[in-house]
Structure 1
Amino acid sequence: MATQSPFSWLVDAANTLRAKLPADLPQSFTPPAWAVAEVQQRVVLFLNHVLMQEPAARDRLQRQRGRQVQVCWRDQVFQCAFTPAGLIEFIAPDASTHASAKAPDLVLRVNEPSPFELVKTVVQGEKPAIRIEGDVQLAAEVNWLIDHVRWDPEEDLSRLIGDAPAHTLAQNAKRAVDALRSFVKQQASKAAP
């Protein structure tokens, strides 16, 4: 007897939502500039929080100080620079368009145009296809960061609620994420011919 996934409601909700939205919404939707800037600044804060817990990563980034990386996806551009402290500094879009602004040393272009496919790829634990332009050595450093630096949510939780409850919450969250990944892979394999 086949058992039903606990996430079947999620597929039904996603299919209902897709049916109600215009077919070209993922490609035509452009969020307001202020929202994009806020999200990008929050991403930088989060990345710096993670980097503060990784001395080896900060040491590597200190050697790249002043170098700039630009990430492009569809019409969205995120640009940052590495600081002497080994952290990341957000470069506002208007600052990068001035004539005196420095061109990025590395440009990473995400090839997948569909946000649904991009999220599916990431949820499955895979890296999306990216076209790399610019400094190869800097690209290797960024790749090292992606492969080796991880956020430890359990450590952050333990500062708030203690070690034992944080461990229990983290284990339950890990099980939920694993179940979600398994479900997404299962649905992707059913949809593939």
Structure 2
Amino acid sequence: MATQSPFSFLDSIFDRVTSGPQPPQWLVHEVHQRAVLFINHVLMQEPEAMERMRRQKGRVALVQWRAYSMALLVTPAGLFNVAPEGVSPDLRLEVTELSPLALAQSALRGDKPAIRIEGDVQLAAEINWLVDHVRWDVEEDLARLMGDAPAHQVAQVARRAAQALRQFVGARMPTGSVVPAPVTSTDRTAA
């Protein structure tokens, strides 16, 4: 017998908030620009990641979750840029889990979300490599701002807090609940 999460009301609140007025286009554009800046900052810390993406220059990947989407264009430098409006994507990545709470729980467990993949197989493989191998070195960025010792202490506290949060979420999972494995399918589109 499946037990409903005591936090399921958060999903209904999220649904009500997102079905209301949509944010203005300028705000969506700014959020996309900031996300691209962050992604590129992380990629620049890993030269192999940039080299892999250089081979995919000019390709467009569309990432979508619910009504939210973002099209990313791979630049000749091996970084990303927001794709021009109306461009046809070479790859579509759609997060199939609709519940933000379930996504947060799986992220805290360290699981990848279930994704439906359509399009270019090689671009999908490179993006999967990025997800598996590229990590943001928060401690290094903090060290630039506050020095090595304080950055190390802050990072240690953050790791302990994250571990405690993972344990809390793990303890709150209903007994006998089965976590579905990510569902992925790769289809090559006609060129």
TM-score by length of 1: 0.80
Alignment match, 1:46? 38
Q: What are the residue-to-residue correspondences of 1:26-105 with 2, within 5 Å?
A: 28-29=19-20, 31-34=22-25, 35-91=27-83, 95-97=84-86, 101=87, 103-105=88-90
Q: Provide the aligned C-alpha RMSD in A.
A: 2.6
Q: State the Cα distance separating 1:27 from its structure 2 match.
A: 6.2
CA distance in 1 between counterparts of 2:59 and 2:15 reads 37
Q: State the Cα distance separating 1:181 from its structure 2 match.
A: 1.1
CA distance in 1 between counterparts of 2:42 and 2:105 reads 24
Alignment match, 1:162? 147
CA contact (8 A) 2:10 2:101 kept: no
- Where structure 1 has 5 or more consecutive residues not aligned to the other structure, the ranges are 1-10
- Rate the CA distance shift 1:23–1:84 in 2: closer, same or farther, 3 A: closer
Q: State the Cα distance separating 1:22 from its structure 2 match.
A: 5.0
- The list of structure 1 runs, each at least 4 consecutive aligned residues, that deviate by more than 6 angstroms after superposition, is none
Q: Structure 1 vs Structure 2: percent identity of aligned residues? A: 51
SS at match of 1:69: strand
Q: Which has the higher relative contact order, 1 or 2, with Cα contacts under 8 A spaced 6 or more apart?
A: 2
CA contact (8 A) 2:61 2:90 kept: yes
Paired residues, number:
173
Deviations along 1:15-41, one digit per CA (max 9) or x if unpaired, are 8x749x758426635641443332222
- Where structure 2 has 5 or more consecutive residues not aligned to the other structure, the ranges are 179-191
Alignment match, 1:153? 138
CA distance in 2 between counterparts of 1:77 and 1:123 reads 23
Q: State the Cα distance separating 1:42 from its structure 2 match.
A: 1.2
